[in-house]
Amino acid sequence: MKVKIVNKSAYATPHYATEQSAGMDLKANIETPVTLRPLERAMIPTGLYIALEEGTEAQVRPRSGLAAKHGISVLNAPGTIDADYRGEVKVILVNLSNEEFTINPGERIAQMVVARYEKVEWEEVETLDA
């Protein structure tokens, strides 16, 4: 699937690290480090703008290494980028640890997975199958 992207960041366009990777790393497009105190959150810009096709979404997910080693997660995981959104992709990071954590310019802060989805049509019924 082709996805249009405008990359205003100082870094390379996201790419798959391996042939079977599901997600692409997103990097912090910041000029100076940002320090998150315990339980603090911040919206970190990526400098990326995307145009997804109808019937697809981009999911922004935590990086397992940041979560396991430092307690850093994506607050609304997975964050959803809808096909009609054209603003900058930003990542809401939260520090769930007891120690400060500093995000440096260009640091890999999350991963993005693009996926298709189905629209549902509700069928109201009185009961459901067991």
pLDDT tens for each residue of 8-61: 999 999 999 999 999 999 999 999 999 999 999 999 999 999 999 999 999 999
68 pLDDT band, cuts 50/70/90, is very high
Please tell me the predicted confidence (pLDDT) of residue 35: 98
**Which of 119, 109, 117, 122 minimizes the C-alpha distance to 77?**
109
60: β partners:
79, 112
Give the model's pLDDT for residue 113.
Answer: 98
CA gap 34, 101 in Å, rounded: 8
Q: What is the pLDDT of residues 82-111, one digit of tens each?
A: 999 999 999 999 999 999 999 999 999 999
pLDDT at position 40 is 98
Q: What's the pLDDT at 65?
A: 95
- Predicted confidence at residue 115, as pLDDT, reads 96
- Residue 92, pLDDT score: 98
Torsion angle of C-alpha atoms 29, 31, 32, 38, degrees rounded to 10: -20
